[in-house]
Amino acid sequence: MTLQELFERIGQLRAAVIGDHCLDVYWHADMRLSELSRETPHHPLPVVRERMSPGAAANQAACLAALAPRAVLALGTLGPDWRGDVLRQQLQSLGVDVGGMVAYEQLVTNAYIKPLRMGISDTIYEDPRIDFENREALPAQAEAALLAALEAAAPALDLLLVCDQLAYGCITPAVRERIGQLGEQGLTVLVDSRSRINAFRHVLLKPNEMEALRATGQADAAAAARQLAGLTGRPALVTLGERGCVVSDGHSETMFEAMPVPPPVDTVGAGDAFAAAFGLAYAAGAELALAVRFAATASAVTVKKIGCTGSASREEIQAIW
């Protein structure tokens, strides 16, 4: 299959992302403008620029949209706050359908806010991140509404990405069980989970090396991939950063090298780009090796986008293919 044929097949697919959608917020503060507060013994951060972009599951949706499938749907939860409004707007501006985003009054919209200080030199200093996330289990009503949205969307889908990132996110045991059932019924499902990757069944798994080793107790990535593939009955991919990734079918493992990228690089969001590209290619019928190469190329594009959770377009992939 040529790259152009792959793009044509991707253009016919309907894809969705279910999981922990976040808003990434960057506050650029120019400390040359800061004056000692009269009320407190502190120098405030004079914000001169604000940037916002989709993060976590929302970034996976953005990465899908950049590859121009027929449709992209976001499934997840939001709170009744400004971050939820902005996140909806961000996704809609990319052509993502947000009809599956469940708003519930007891929730907050997940967000990572990053204050960045700059001054006389070129050095940029990042203060501790400010996180908004839910600290209790998803309310039953919100869970039921999310499951209903998944049921409504599933019959038309060719691909479902799962982003299970937060301790109290929206991928509850009931949602996880339904995702496994959809995978068992034949839907292509690719899961990225920070701390529960070994709890999924009948789906493709894509942890990074640390997540895979923690979940399996194995000493190396190949053994971890083999164990995870054995649990699901589907291929498992363990990403290794600049070393590439190892893929197992439960019996044997294959090592795939990453595309070399000269510094400077920023790896934030590279895993999301890999998941979106691999999922679309695999759902489009690409052989495993081609799907991995396509995903690695997408990651190589995104790591050159410094200071943001970037995505890879068809044109950008074509340029370095």
pLDDT tens, residue order, the chain (321 aa): 999 999 999 999 999 999 999 999 999 999 999 999 999 999 999 999 999 999 999 999 999 999 999 999 999 999 999 999 999 999 999 999 999 999 999 999 999 999 999 999 999 999 999 999 999 999 999 999 999 999 999 999 999 999 999 999 999 999 999 999 999 999 999 999 999 999 999 999 999 999 999 999 999 999 999 999 999 999 999 999 999 999 999 999 999 999 888 888 888 888 999 999 999 999 999 999 999 999 999 999 999 887 777 899 999 999 999
DSSP state of 208: B
Task: State which fold the 3-22+55-110+134-320 domain adopts.
Answer: UDP-N-acetylmuramoyl-L-alanine:D-glutamate ligase (3.40.1190)
- 124-126 and 47-56 as β-strands: parallel, antiparallel, unpaired? unpaired
Type of residue found at 283: A
Domain chopping of the chain, boundaries: 3-22+55-110+134-320
For residue 17, the model assigns a pLDDT of 98
Q: Is the peptide bond prior to 264 cis by the omega test (within 30 degrees of 0)?
A: yes
Give me the residue label for tokens 């069944």: 201
Comparing CA positions, the residue from 225, 294, 311 lying closest to residue 53 is 311
For residue 268, the model assigns a pLDDT of 83
State residue 192 phi and psi, 5-degree precision: -120, 115
Angle of the 288-302 helix axis to the 3-10 helix axis, nearest 10 = 90
- Encoding tokens for residue 230? 């054995």
Judge contact between 10 and 68, C-beta under 8 A. yes
C-alpha Rg value of the chain to the nearest Å:
20
For residue 142, the model assigns a pLDDT of 97
Type of residue found at 77: T
For residue 306, the model assigns a pLDDT of 79
Give me the residue label for tokens 């299970």: 164
State residue 91 phi and psi, 5-degree precision: -70, -45
Q: Is the dihedral of CA 101, 104, 105, 108 positive or negative?
A: negative
Type of residue found at 305: K
